[in-house]
Structure 1
Amino acid sequence: MEQKIKEFPAFKVNGFIMLAVVVSLILIGFWYLVSSVQGLEAILVRGLKVTDFIIGGEDSVAELVAWLAATLLVVVIPSLSGFFVVEPNQAVVLVLFGKYVGSVRSSGFWWTNPFVSKQKISLRVRNFNSKIIKVNDAEGSPIEIAAVVVWQVFDSAKSKFAVDDYSEFVAIQSETAIRSLAIRYPYDSSDETNTPSLRGIPDEIAHALQKELQARLEVTGVEVIEARLSHLAYAPEIAQVMLRRQQAKALIDARRQIVEGAVGMVNEALNRLATEQMVNLDDERKASMINNLLVVLTSEQTAQPVINAGTLYN
């Protein structure tokens, strides 16, 4: 089984220090090369043979210096590819001959092994706005749902090597998580059942979506900062029916509240009449009074009933 790759710091050296060293070595190499070329020209002018280098002498030293200068330049110049820049909120993944050798997160100018390949990974916070998805809720009603996901990379090695394209992976898994969430909850629930619903508990739904997304995206080294529904509605084919249903429910709830308030007001009125002994009402006249008061209090239009409170004298 292949071992999972996790991010760890890579070898790096301050780029300005290494730049000074490399430039110095290049200048020294060029100086030795120019000096050795001048020495070789002097050899040719005097007409010396190549065997003088084998025998020894100052002319052979000049030729040796030429070889050393050329070797120095050949070794030092490729090291220039080891320089790289890391911007804020960015990581550079280093790979040497197919092997991951670490990541650099510190912003600045750096130098590392010139033979490594470098891949930049953004660590900035990003938003993903999902498309509006049509799905059936827990009760089988077709609904439209969408969400916005705020995320960022926290492990550059996983993001680079765990999947082909971590941005596309985030998009696909986000839509999958939204579908999975929608089929577990109804769009709405009645007050009697008190069942958790997509519309009734938005904070809990957002937390559940974030938790499920984090579990799906952990393999890619992505952290889900926030996930929240951005669109929630019934599908167009049942939207009008559900709207009438909601209006009927709202009307019933309003009527119930009006009746409860009216009964309370009538009860308070009868208790006050009995307590202050303003008038004595028999059961028949009490019933008539209650009926008339309820008509007045619950009527949608202004009512003017004749209230019979009985007679003062028997």
Structure 2
Amino acid sequence: MEKTRNSSTAIGWLMVLIEVCLIGAFIYMGVNRQFWFLAFIPVWLVFLFGFVVLNPNESAVLTFFGAYKGTIKANGLFWVNPLMVKKKVSLRARNLDSEPIKVNDKLGNPIMIGVVLVWRVRDTFKASFEVNDFVEFVYVQTDAAIRKLATSYPYDNFDDEESEICLRSDIEEVNDVLETEITERLAIAGIEVMEARISHLAYASEIAGAMLQRQQATAVVAARRRIVEGAVGMVELALEELGQKEIVELDDERKAAMVSNLMVVLCAEKSASPVVNTGSLY
């Protein structure tokens, strides 16, 4: 578990002052030919290795002969035991823009999918000691999460089943699932996921043309269905209005002919050319 070390910059600057005083003492003893004081130079050099300078959003993980001693997260000049190993770990937010990878969706169709991930180190102990290389761990686990997501949902929903989530149209829900999946995978390394979203989504090149034709056909069928539904409503309204206002009386045969003509006019792709009947309806 991470232990934040509450170090003070005052100690760091105090040690700088002591180091400067020792340098002055070395010079003074050298001028006065009192070389016995030079025996303390190795000690001075050892204490010099105890300084740590940390910039904002930077940390130092401290270990002493293999034992974890804490993490300094404040910025400034610090001094710690010179025998401690000081490993700097950045706490800044980082971007991962993954290259699109080819994977099969839930229906077995090959697709190209890529994500953008914003992440940062939250627990320096886990990032340093729970995994071998936390940066590589982020890349590998993100790739695994992408593949799992792609195989869990179809690219598109051609059956118009609103209950079925698909990658193309339900982007918000899919991004939430992706972020949750990556967060769970990276928790072991002490990584915080700030944002995860799909940045690239397309059919693989070998089926892109065929799937485009399928999408177009589906769109045409859906459009025709709406046109027919609207035409039926208009014909029903026309017959109802004619009956209520008693404009003309039509038997079943003539109603059928009228319905047929109206459906042809309303559902035709091109504008109809009207034929004026100047004769009797009977």
Does the alignment pair 1:98 with 2:66?
yes
Does the alignment pair 1:149 with 2:111?
no
2:5 and 2:73 in contact (8 A); partners too: no
1:285 and 1:308 in contact (8 A); partners too: no
Unaligned runs of 5+ in 2: none
Does the alignment pair 1:240 with 2:209?
yes
Same amino acid, percent of matched pairs? 47
Output the amino acid matched with 2:205.
P
The structural deviation recorded for 1:34 is: 6.0
CA gap of 1:106–1:311, structure 2 versus 1, over 3 A, is same
**RMSD between aligned alpha carbons?**
2.5
1:289 and 1:308 in contact (8 A); partners too: no
Does the alignment pair 1:185 with 2:182?
no
- Report the counterpart of residue 167 of structure 2 in structure 1: 198
**SS state at 2:165 partner:** coil
Aligned partners of 2:235 and 2:201: how far apart in 1? 43
Alignment of 1:96-175 (within 5 A): 96-175=64-143
Instruction: Give the TM-score of the pair, scaled to structure 2.
Output: 0.89
Alignment of 1:1-314 (within 5 A): 6-10=1-5, 12-14=7-9, 15-28=12-25, 31=28, 37=34, 69=37, 74-189=42-157, 190-192=159-161, 194-306=163-275, 311=280
Please say which structure displays the higher CA radius of gyration.
1
Bigger mean CA deviation after superposition, 272-281 or 151-160 = 272-281
Deviation per CA, 1:95-144: give whole Å up to 9, x if none: 22222211111111111112212111111111112222211111122222
**SS state at 2:271 partner:** coil
Deviation per CA, 1:136-161: give whole Å up to 9, x if none: 11112222211111111111222122
Aligned partners of 2:110 and 2:49: how far apart in 1? 58
Output the amino acid matched with 1:151.
W
Aligned partners of 1:217 and 1:145: how far apart in 2? 20
Output the amino acid matched with 2:3.
F
Aligned partners of 2:118 and 2:23: how far apart in 1? 49
Bigger mean CA deviation after superposition, 21-30 or 299-308 = 21-30
Instruction: Give the TM-score of the pair, scaled to structure 1.
Output: 0.80
Number of positions where the alignment pairs a residue of Structure 1 with one of Structure 2: 279
1:296 and 1:305 in contact (8 A); partners too: no
Output the amino acid matched with 2:252.
D
Aligned partners of 2:277 and 2:118: how far apart in 1? 68
